[in-house]
Structures are given as C-alpha cells and as structure tokens.
Chain A
Amino acid sequence: MTANSPSAAAHASAHKLFSLGRAAAIAGNTLRDLVRQKVFYFMLVFALVLIGMSLVLAALSFQGQLQMVMNMSLGAMSVFTMLLAVLASAMMLPKDIEDRTLYTILAKPVSRFEYLLGKLAGVALMLLIATLLMTVFFCIVLWFWQGREIASIRGSVQSELVDAEVAKVMAGTFTPTLFGGIGVIFLRAVVCSALTLMVSSFATSWLFTVIISLMLILIGHIVPIARSAWMDPIQAGVDVPWYLSLFLRLITVFAPDMQLFNIVDDIAVGTHVASGIFGQVTALGCGYITIYVLVAYLFFAWREL
C-alpha cells in the first residue's frame, strides 16, 4: 500500500500510448464473459439444425442430396455466425455503459481505442471458436453424407459411369474452396461485428444498434446492383433519375458489398474459386474491419459517459 511498494514503482515507468496487454486483457475478459453467458449453446442449435435437416433429406429421395447438405450447412453457418456477431457486439457497449462497468475500466489507464479493439478481438475470438466447432460438426455430417452418396451411386448408376461419378463426389466434397469459403464466412462475421461496434459507438440502445446493423448488412447485399445501376445505367437498361442515382451512390459508398463475402453460394454449385480471389476478399475484409474500428474510435473518443 505504500508509495514505494514494487507495483507502484512498476507503473511509475512511462505510460505506453497503446498497450497490447491492456487490449488483450479486455479481449480475454470479453471472451470469458461471452462463454459464461453460454453463447456456445447456440452451437447446439446449429447441430440440431444439421441433424434435423439430414433426417428430412434422408426421408426424401432424389439426387444431389450431398450438395444440399453442404448448401444448407454453409447457409446455417453463415446465418449463425452473422447473428452471433451482431448480437454479441451490439450488447457490449450499451451494457458496459448502463452497468457503469465502463467507468471503472476507463478510470484505469486504458485508452478508449484499447477498449474498443479489445472488445472486438474478444468477439472475434468467440466467433473463431464458434466457426471451428461448427466446421468440425459440419465435416462429420458431410463425411456421413458423402459415404451415403457414394453407396447410392454404386447401387444405381450404369457401371460405365460409376468410377467417374464416385471420383466426382470425392473431388467435390472436401475441397480447398470449401474451407476457404468457411474462412470467408468467419471473416464476414468479424466484418459484421466491427460494423455493429461502430454503430454502437454512437447509438444509445442495443436494440437500435441491432436494427441499424442488420439493416446495413441487408443493404450490403444489394450493393452490387445499386452500383451497376448508377455506374452503368445504359447496360442496366433503365433511366435513373438524379435523386435515385444519388441515393444509389450513397448506398454504394457507405454500405459494405456483402455479396463479395458470399463465396459460399458459388461453392454450392461447385465453382472453383481462385486463391487470388480469396486473398483479395480477405484484404478487403481486413480493410473494412480497420476502417470500422477507426471510425468507431472517432465516434467514441469524445463521447460523454
């Protein structure tokens, strides 16, 4: 307790403007908080969706079931990660403000930037764990269906075609594109989380944050169409009045192009996606995350608490 105790001497040293340690402490705490709030029970719902879907599909009989299992699992994964991202991120700031926990944190030598970054990193970690869990489960289900599909090919297809068809199934299931696509699902979830964090940095309630964030994400899905409509109205075949054009420009500029992160829809039809595209999408995603955190900080830095 005395002024010359060792710990006091330790902080007498120069204060670092940015400390990874402090951000990591907040990230770790955020993750622990989320884990103890039992967010991973969400994964059980995911597992049930996959099992339920498998049972329904197994009761029907037609070709292409393996593909459908893949589509629906990836779709469920997309939705679950995005929802998890938005809901978990939207709660953080308003809850800390309301409970005045934020006072105690910011009354420590913690900058608001470290606080925001730590929060985002905590949610990102949680999303990573969630994505990995879902992927493991998905792979088990997919492996089961792959076996089933191959068995059904052997039983039904003309012998001339069996080897070709089996090879096609084997080559088309666990592909690098599939795992790349899952990586992009995770990336998109983190982008959604950063976007939500930015909204919550000026919003006053979590409900407002959730609604605005989800709206921005939905609008993000029509960005490519809005863009082509004002950039290339002749090809689009319509006459765009100036005010509509202005509106479309605003959408294109301020909303993220979420369709670029929809690579899973291409995996669904077995399109091979070049690794260069994955690289570019990842770079773009990281750009979004950086900008959103920066803007969140600008909105939050002077906010009255």
Chain B
Amino acid sequence: MAGALKGRVIGVAVLLVWGILKLPIETELTAQLQHERLGKYKITASLRQQAGQAGFIAVLGGLRAPVADLLFIRAHIAWQQHVEYGRMKLYFDICTALQPRREMFWDMAAWHMAYNGAAYIEQTEKDKYIRDRQMKEYYKVGEDYLLRAVENCPDSWSLYDRLGSLYREKFHDPCKAAAAFARAAERPNRLDYTRRLAAIYLADCPGHEKEAYDKLLALYKESEKEWVPSLLEKIQILERKLGIPKEERVYIPEKHRLLPD
C-alpha cells in the first residue's frame, strides 16, 4: 500500500511538473497559430464574450467547422422554404462567430440581409414609411456583417468589394463605396476592376474630383485595357467639371465621346 501511495504521489507530481513545463510551450504555440490565422491583425474580444463562445466550443469539441456549416445550411433552408429573416440572422450570427475566418459566411449573411431581406420587405410591406425604415434596417444589418467581416478576414479583397457594392447600390454613397473599393484594390489577388471602380466612384464623391481625376488618368495611361466606357465617361465629365483646358484633355476614341457641352 505504501508503494501504491508513493506511485500516486509521484504520478501526480509528474503531471504537475509537465503541466508547468508545457505551459509556456502551449502559450507560444497558441500565439503562433493565432498569428497564422490572423496575421498581424488581432481581434480583441472581452472574456465574457469569449467565455460564452468557449462554453459552446467546448461542447462542440473539435466540431467547430462542421457545426458552423450545418447552421449555414439551416439558414439557407430557412431562406428557401420559409423566408424567415429573423431566424436566418440568428444562424448567420452563430456561424460567423464560430468560423469568423470563413469569407463565404459573411458574404452570404450580408447578401441575404441587405439584398434579399430588403427586397422581401419591399414586396410585402404596404406602408411606405415602415417599408423604407425596415429596408434601411436590413441594409444596415448587411453593412454590419461586412464591416465585421473585413475585420476578421483582413486579407480578403472580395469582402471589401461586396462592401463597396453595398454602399454604392443600397446606400448610394459613392464616397464610402470608393473607399471600400480602394481597400479591396490593396488586398492580395484582387481583380483589376476594383482599382477602376475605386476611382470611378470617387469621381462622384463631392470634394474629391481632383483626386479622382488623377487616379483615372493614371489608369488611363497605364494601359488601353483600362479604357472601358465608364472610365472614359468619368474622365470627360471630370475634365469639364475641373475646367481642364481642351488642349490638356486626353484622347477619347470617337464612339465614347460625350456630346460637346
């Protein structure tokens, strides 16, 4: 019995020593993984939030990703079958909380809310005042998702692209749209049109005409590939607005020329 007691005491002591030794290793490794996940960006969340999520995560064990996927599918079904936006938002909130690095969740959440949700209100709500207010709320929910999305997925150009589109199409705010596209253009692997859209929307942003003109001109000079109708149109409009002398204006192919003012 003395031996058994000795064995247990030594056993617990070994566990204790190992526990203390592993502590810095685990802390360091967690930090490294965190770094790989988020790069230099760091999400700050209060413990309370974390603890709520943690209890949840503990219950899920190693199943964070598939559970998030299942909730996403449920949201999708809720949309296809019942059109329940409240329930959908709940699902989207959880699945984005579980997998904040999954771009598609944010993208779809924002799209469903700002586009489909708002469109649904537009078709079903008769009272104009309520309709307008509720649609604005839906836009706002979509914007919230995308703002959190770009915080969580800082390398994603497509989320900034979606944000820009949302500002442009629903908020009719060219300044914010231009800023979002400009951010998208700075992300890795972005498609070239993001730069163009940043400049084109900036042209509509009061007070930024000169800046927009310079950007458009830079694109214009960069390659003929950039000579798309909308860009050429904006250049001509800005040249007139800014009072650029005719001889300093750029060459515009015949078919894209605006009527003389």
Contacts and interface: CB of A to CB of B under 8 A. Distances in A.
Asked if chains A and B are in direct contact (CB within 8 A), the reply is yes
Interface of A: 56-57, 60, 62-64, 67-68, 71-72, 74-76, 78-79, 82, 160-161, 164, 188, 202, 217-219, 221-225, 227-229, 231, 235-238, 252-254, 257-266, 268-269, 271-274, 277, 280-281, 284, 287, 291, 294-295, 298-304
Contacts of B37: 266, 271
Contacts of B4: 302-304
A161 B14 CA distance: 58
Given A62-B76, A221-B61, A72 B66 contact: yes
A260 B26 contact: yes
B29 A277 contact: yes
B32 A295 contact: no
Nearest to B79: A62
A225 B33 contact: no
Given A218-B61, A222-B58, A302-B3, 11 more contacts: A64-B104, A219-B58, A229-B47, A254-B15, A268-B64, A271-B36, A273-B33, A280-B25, A294-B14, A298-B7, A299-B11
Interface residues of B, number: 57
Interface in B86-102: 99, 101-102
Contact of B57 (A67, A221, A294, A295): A221
B10 interface: yes
A295 B19 CA distance: 13
A253 B20 contact: yes
Interface of B: 3-4, 6-8, 10-11, 14-16, 18-20, 22-23, 25-27, 29-30, 32-33, 36-37, 44, 46-48, 50-51, 54-55, 57-59, 61-70, 72-73, 76-77, 80, 99, 101-104, 108, 191
A68 B69 contact: yes
Given A254-B15, A299-B8, A79 B26 contact: no
A115 to B, nearest CB: 15
A253 B23 contact: yes
A227 B26 contact: yes
Most A Cβ at <10 Å: residue of B10, B20, B36, B72: B36
Contacts of A238: 46-48
Contacts of B11: 295, 298-299
Contacts of A225: 47, 50-51, 54
Contacts of A228: 47
B102 A287 contact: no
B65 A79 contact: no
Nearest to A263: B33
Contacts of A164: 191
A217 B19 contact: no
